[in-house]
Structure 1
């Protein structure tokens, strides 16, 4: 069953946001690409088991909010389902090279969310 696999947090001040979330929840941040203003977030559940991963990056616009990404077997298949059910795509299927594909969508209540397909052959 599809579930949340990743979340993105936009921030105006990355250092302030990292400090806030690491002190509040104990989250760990890693910068995988030095030239990119983006940090990966490691989380754990209350028993210490690995939780959903996240990301922290520069806010692109004032309207940008936290976005949850739901893992799906096929972004193409789910984009069609979303449209059929009255939702819409805000950002078309996009490759994250070597990792997978994502798309940003809007549900019928005007809530944004993302869908994510793991695929190491994404280009």
Structure 2
């Protein structure tokens, strides 16, 4: 069964948000060293979040990035076959807002609006 695998926090000021969550919750939030991809991770000011040690029943990884629109905190559901899941979205009344996209070193992702207008992501990790 697919589980939540990752969350992302958009921020108007990434450094300010990093200080807030680190001080409030003790999270470790570190910048991701970008690959040679000037429009990708570096432009997003992407930071990796570790909320604590991995433990059964918890999600302990996330990300923070420079806000682009008025997007909410994003949750990602890890799936085994992203193509099959994306094919079902519109049949079930949802909408695809970002088609399947490759994130080098991470895997495949897509963004979906559910039938209530809630945005969430799908993630199929890269096979290692």
Q: TM-score, normalised by structure 1?
A: 0.87
| 1:55 corresponding residue in structure 2 | 63
* Structure 2 residue corresponding to 1:111, chosen from 115, 118, 122: 118
Q: Paired residues, what number?
A: 118
State whether structure 2 residue 98 is matched by structure 1 residue 91.
yes
- Could you list the structure 1 runs, at least 4 aligned residues long, displaced by more than 6 angstroms after superposition: none
Contact kept in structure 2, 1:94 and 1:103, CA below 8 Å: yes
Correspondence list, 1:13-24, <5 A:
13-24=13-24
SS in 2 for 1:92: strand
| 2:108 corresponding residue in structure 1 | 101
Correspondence list, 1:5-84, <5 A:
5-33=5-33, 36=42, 37-44=45-52, 49=55, 51-61=59-69, 63-84=70-91
